[in-house]
């Protein structure tokens, strides 16, 4: 999985949970699973973790309740 798809997953999760959608260039990946079900990333000084699951079709659930602001 390339970093663009991982960042798009993080972007969609932020929009779903917090209502904002930062540009992909603002998302700095810290670590992530290849299947995009776990992502730790920063936007400026704020750090987030995303943890979710995949559906049978391979898509990742990005709905509310799966992202947490750490700092």
Query: Residues 24-57: pLDDT tens digits?
Result: 999 999 999 999 999 999 999 999 999 999 999 9
Pairing between β-strand 27-32 and β-strand 67-69 as defined by DSSP bridges: unpaired
Mark out the alpha helices in 1-55 (DSSP H runs).
3-18
**Backbone φ and ψ of 4, nearest 5°:** -60, -45
User: So what's the pLDDT on residue 71?
Assistant: 84
Longest CA–CA separation in the chain, Å:
35
Residue 58 has pLDDT above 90, yes or no: no
Looking at residue 2, its pLDDT comes to 86
How high is the mean pLDDT of the chain? 94
Between 23 and 64, whose confidence is greater?
A: 23
Structural domain for 29, as ranges: 3-69
Query: Could you give the CA distance from residue 67 to residue 49 in angstroms, rounded to a whole number?
Result: 6
The candidate with the shortest Cα–Cα distance to 50, out of 64, 59, 2, 58, is 64
Number of domains in the chain: 1
Please report the pLDDT score of residue 1 as a whole number: 63
């Amino acid at each position: 999985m390339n970093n663009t798809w991982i960042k798009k997953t993080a972007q969609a999760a932020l929009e779903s949970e917090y209502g904002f959608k930062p540009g992909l260039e603002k998302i700095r990946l810290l670590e992530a699973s290849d299947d995009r079900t776990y992502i730790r990333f920063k936007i400026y000084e704020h750090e987030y973790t995303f943890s979710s699951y995949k559906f049978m079709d391979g898509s990742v659930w990005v709905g509310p309740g799966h992202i947490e602001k750490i700092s």
